[in-house]
Amino acid sequence: MPSIASSSIVQFKNCRLVRGRTIVKDDFWVRGGRIINPEPVFFEEKVQADLTVDCHDALICPGFIDIQINGGYGYDFSSDLDKLEEGVSTVAKGILSTGVTSFCPTVVTSPSSVYHEVLPRLKRTPGGKEGAGILGIHLEGPFISPEKKGAHPPEFIQKIEGIDKVHDIYGNLDNVGLITIAPELPGALEVIHHLRSKGIKVSVGHSNGNLEDGEAAVNNGASFITHLFNAMLPFHHRDPGLVGLLTSQRINQPVHYGIIADGIHTHPAALRIAHRTHPKGVVLVTDAMAAMGLGEGHHHIGQMEVLVKGQKAQLVGTNTLAGAIVTMDSCVRHFIKEAGVTVVEAIEAATLHPAQVMGMDHLKGTLDFGSDADFLLLSDKGPLKVLNTFIGGECVYAAPGAHCIEYTQQRPLEEKVFS
């Protein structure tokens, strides 16, 4: 594909767009890494497109956003410290084929020394040909419930003893976007309020807390639930636990919730219950670990050894699930099939909603004018398939055999067509 000057206007034609919670037939315009409104270009600047792309009726949607991913392709973000940059680069590049244009590398419960080494090295990046962009680190632990530890090593789980303790354990939080905390821990509410005042999003999860604990956390600034149904009290009709946050009338803001739609972590009926209860809150996450993209065998997540058999990753010698090996495009397809949602609903769960969680929906997760030109061309003639991935208006991935990207130069660059 030809390289495109930053000032060039590219028109995508013969396409359908996921825009305004529906699918519309329209052209799509990009310039300078942003999605633009063509009308001012025509009537005020008096220019037309430099290049056109015939999409052959492909579906254009925002790039997928994964806000919980522990690693992949043989790399783990919490333990492979000697090759951390190599691992992040490999994962960022690999997930382009799955439609992910932005992600939150996730660090699970670890020794304090790991946080002090990893956090300064996982910097926010805009993404591009080198790989998907980083929106900020997701710290999943160590301030979690020992009773709901999941695949987190119990020896590194910490009590909350105040804000100073949190900063001592983590070190510098400049690169952190999201932190998962068990809301029932003594001192949790003060810490949640403090983190939100610093612009860090807070999620409740790995928790033995009840609904009141969750409501107090949300009213102090928490806005997300980490992998709903997993590592938390099960729903009970006299105390629905954190699941009850989906319908609570005692919280000052609606919450979003993560769902691992891999056919293993969450039963199809539970997917349907969650979505039909609070459809605007569902966020698809992979919770992928080092085995994603590889296959069966022994792998690791953080400090724990994992055995992958079939599509299931479990701590060695136990039945405890240890992350997933699913990809985001597969989650979207599974969600459509098993939850009975529309294509638009599934796509928004992987785009708009995670962008809202991270406070980035003014730039990502939509095809609105002025948004970053991070988008996908999809084939929806059958199960959804990623044909092309774009970041900042530049094609960074093309599927084998994908022929829907054909640039045609309209005019010499910078030439005015009206006088």
Residues with catalytic function: 287
Q: How far is CA 392 from CA 133, 135, 304, 311, 402, in A?
A: 10, 15, 37, 33, 20
Instruction: Compute the half-sphere exposure of residue 316: CA atoms within 13 Å on the CB side of its CA.
Output: 11
State the Cα angle at 176 between 85 and 349, rounded to 5°: 95
Q: Counting beta carbons within 10 angstroms of the beta carbon of residue 163, is it exposed (0 to 12), middle (13 to 18) or buried (19 or more)?
A: middle
Query: What is the Cα–Cα distance from 97 to 359, expressed in whole angstroms?
Result: 25
Q: In sequence order, what are the residues at sequence separation of 6 or more whose Cβ sits closer than 8 angstroms to the Cβ of residue 247? A: 277, 278
412, 52 contact by CB (below 8 A): no
Which two three-digit tokens encode residue 409? 């130069």
Query: What is the Cα–Cα distance from 1 to 206, expressed in whole angstroms?
Result: 46
Q: How far is CA 147 from CA 79, 211, 241, in A?
A: 23, 17, 15
Q: In sequence order, what are the residues at sequence separation of 6 or more whose Cβ sits closer than 8 angstroms to the Cβ of residue 332? A: 64, 99, 261, 284, 346, 347, 349, 350, 384
Q: In sequence order, what are the residues at sequence separation of 6 or more whose Cβ sits closer than 8 angstroms to the Cβ of residue 34? A: 370, 371, 372, 373, 393
Q: Residues comprising the binding site?
A: 140, 151, 206, 227, 230-231, 238, 265, 321-323
Q: Residues comprising the binding site for Zn(2+)?
A: 140, 206, 227
Instruction: Compute the half-sphere exposure of residue 354: CA atoms within 13 Å on the CB side of its CA.
Output: 34
Place of tokens 């599934």: 346
Query: What is the Cα–Cα distance from 268 to 148, expressed in whole angstroms?
Result: 23
Place of tokens 């300064």: 120
Q: In sequence order, what are the residues at sequence separation of 6 or more whose Cβ sits closer than 8 angstroms to the Cβ of residue 341? A: 275, 279, 335, 349
Find residue 147's DSSP bridge partners: none
Question: 3-class secondary structure for 255-322?
Answer: CEEEECCCCCCCCHHHHHHHHHHCHHHEEECCCECCCCCCCCEEEEECCEEEEEECCEEEECCCCCEC
Find residue 321's DSSP bridge partners: 314
